[in-house]
Amino acid sequence: MKAAAATAADAPLEPPAAGPWWLRPAKLFDGTRLRGATALRIDAGWITAVVEAPQSIADGAPSVRSDCIACPAFVDLQVNGGGGVLLNNEPTPEALAAIAAAHRKGGTGAWLPTLITTTPEVMTRAVEAVLATHGQHGVAGMHIEGPHISPDYRGAHALEYIRPLDEHTWSLLRRLRARDIPVILTVAPERLPRGALADLVALGVRVSIGHSGATERQTRDALAAGASLFTHLFNGMPPLRTKSVGLAGVALDSAAWCGIIADGHHVADTMLRLAVRAKRGPGAVFAVTDAMPTVHGPPEFELYGATLRLHEGRLVDARGSLAGVHIDMIGTLRRLVRAVELPLETALTMVTSAPARAAGLEGQHGFLAVSAPADIVLLDPESLNIRHMLLRGAVSRAMPARPS
């Protein structure tokens, strides 16, 4: 069958309606490295072959060429809202669908709905929404951020809802894990009962240290008990100091994974660049949006009864204080490359395979390899704007106009 013509910058991507086909981008980031011309064979929404020398393809399946960089659809482990919807305010399956649609515009194919500190009733409803939606709309699990955190490092979390780890939370975690749904629980380890962290890990919960004032010793003890992540590095924790390493220093010196916000407001670009360079492996620094409803939504929303609004690119409260994050994953990628000055391969890793590995999602997300779903973002090689997005091999039509 005759191969399709090269894809122009303004032309639609038109895969065959049925049957296997080959995607032939100019470059491919497979989740590990940036490669030259490499072809992906896509059949029924899955990748069935990866060929380094596309000119050797001779199976008769049609080819679609593109001058773009192909990479895995982005993976975001911390999404509070988008498209005008906040999970805390609307803990329903319909809300999850709306948030997912908003973040697809930024290239996110897999994400963890994130519930911040709230009442037991809202927690129950949010968990039920995830139970009903898991596997749909890119919902890959759940991130419960609080309420078992430090009041002193709560950030925007409501003080009145912060409470000790209780049977209610345990019951919700058991329900999620009984369905084998990945769960990240952000906690302040210094506020947990003795042995509780190890019990959480034994249940299959990925414990993330955050909104915490834990000392160096307490942090290292939490890691020894099985904690494996840190939530939004440098935010919701004591500052990094030279004579008192504290939580942030241990995070960089540990083998755990560290989420970080790259909007230019929550962490200085220089500090972010230093963190990436300093991080000890095998865990790495990965990007999260920690996005709020203003992402691909209206410029204000309500949180705990207060109005938060966008002002000069920052999400602020009535006092003008920073009160949330307004960025999507493609914006994050561009900032990592342009403002933070990271190599493209490093930045792509931070928005795809690194978060997938941190959450245990690498079997389904974050990589382009044989047996992986054909969830693919095609990037303009110059602007790093999203040209096209494929979900299970089909073109997503929820793409925004390309930014200037």
User: CA nearest 108: which of 69, 141, 138?
Assistant: 138
Active site residue 290: yes
Burial per residue of 306-334, b for 16 or more beta-carbon CB atoms within 10 angstroms, e otherwise? eebbbeeebbbbeeeebbbbbbbbbbbbb
Neighbours of 126 (CB within 10 A): 24
What are the backbone dihedrals phi and psi of residue 269, each rounded to the nearest 5 degrees, phi first?
Answer: -60, -40
- Give the span between the Cα atoms of 278 and 129, in whole angstroms: 39
- Give the span between the Cα atoms of 215 and 233, in whole angstroms: 15
- Beta-bridged to residue 389, according to DSSP, are 377
User: CA nearest 257: which of 161, 190, 357?
Assistant: 357
Structure token pair of residue 284: 């790495």
The answer to whether the beta carbons of residues 81 and 302 sit under 8 Å apart is no
Runs of H (alpha helix) within 66-155: 93-104, 120-133
User: CA nearest 138: which of 113, 114, 116?
Assistant: 113
- Sign of the C-alpha dihedral computed for residues 375, 381, 383 and 388 taken in this order: negative
Provide long-range contacts, Cβ within 8 A and 24+ apart, for 2-5: 2/62, 3/62, 3/63, 3/64, 3/65, 4/62, 4/63, 4/64, 4/65, 5/65
Q: Which residues contact residue 262 at a Cβ distance below 8 angstroms, ignoring those fewer than 6 apart?
A: 272, 287, 327, 332, 335, 336, 340
**30, 76, 263, 290: which one is catalytic?**
290
Could you list the active site residues?
A: 290
